[in-house]
Amino acid sequence: MKKILLFTIAVIFMQTAVFAQKTKIEITTDYGKIVLMLYDNTPKHRDNMIKLAKEHFFDSLLFHRVIPEFVIQGGDPNSKHAAAGANLGDGEHGNRIPAEINDVAYHKRGALGMARDNNPEKASSGCQFYIVIGRKLTDQDLDNIEKRGTRKFTAEQRATYKTIGGTAFLDGGYTVFGEVLEGMDIVEKIAAEPRNAADRPNKDVHMLKVRVVKKKFLGVF
């Protein structure tokens, strides 16, 4: 019994250690903090996010597009000094990021993705990102999405979309490169803000600062 208990503790510790090694980004907003974990299987997007955060690029930018049960989007440099009600979403910074779309990362609730225009390579914006809210889906919903595209959902992905939700119809079209660890309640509050016809919140919602979270060393036993 003791051996089983020690083995279980060891497995939990190893999982925690791996989890702690992932790069994390903290977004401080007008409503509170959102903590993101960046994936290592999308290194170009991960490194770009880290670079922009270290340069303080996102500080004072807005979440300029909010849609309940869909996404919140930010990162447009034009939003920093935008007039009230001005249309946003066309601003860019740096070069497009080559697509890193894969079958492992998908648009579950809390997923972090990069926006893009209609370029045929599906390359991402150099700065604009979104966080998925979505809704719970049914098997019929997922079957219909599969019929319309090339993405086939695994049993695990189906279970996730049915229990916590997401925006499965975006899979295969945009690069997902991370997920929310803490602060989905903050994401929901931002998404619930009254907005205009262009989905810009009537009241500006700022990213006050965006920082890379320093990694903490975990000892071994």
Which CATH number fits the domain that encloses residue 84? 2.40.100.10
Distances (CA, A) of 43 to 17, 40, 100, 204: 20, 6, 8, 31
Range(s) of the domain holding residue 131 = 24-213
For residue 46, tell me if it sits in a domain. Answer: yes
Q: Are 165 and 141 in contact (CB under 8 A)?
A: no
For residue 15, tell me if it sits in a domain. Answer: no
For residue 10, tell me if it sits in a domain. Answer: no
Task: Show the tokens assigned to 165.
Answer: 């939700």
Single out the residue of 93, 94, 98, 92 nearest to residue 42, CA to CA. Answer: 98
Task: Show the tokens assigned to 71.
Answer: 């996404």
For residue 150, tell me if it sits in a domain. Answer: yes
For residue 17, tell me if it sits in a domain. Answer: no
Q: What is the residue-level pLDDT of the chain in tens, covering all 221 positions?
A: 444 444 433 433 334 444 457 899 999 999 999 999 999 999 999 999 999 999 999 999 999 999 999 999 999 999 999 999 999 999 999 999 999 999 999 999 999 999 999 999 999 999 999 999 999 999 999 999 999 987 899 999 999 999 999 999 999 999 999 999 999 999 999 999 999 999 999 999 999 999 999 765 444 43
pTM equals 0.89
Q: Are 177 and 45 in contact (CB under 8 A)?
A: yes
For residue 187, tell me if it sits in a domain. Answer: yes
For residue 47, tell me if it sits in a domain. Answer: yes
Task: Show the tokens assigned to 115.
Answer: 């926006």
Number of domains in the chain: 1
Q: Are 176 and 105 in contact (CB under 8 A)?
A: yes
Task: Show the tokens assigned to 16.
Answer: 């925690």
For residue 16, tell me if it sits in a domain. Answer: no
Q: Are 28 and 208 in contact (CB under 8 A)?
A: yes
**Identity of the residue numbered 214:** K
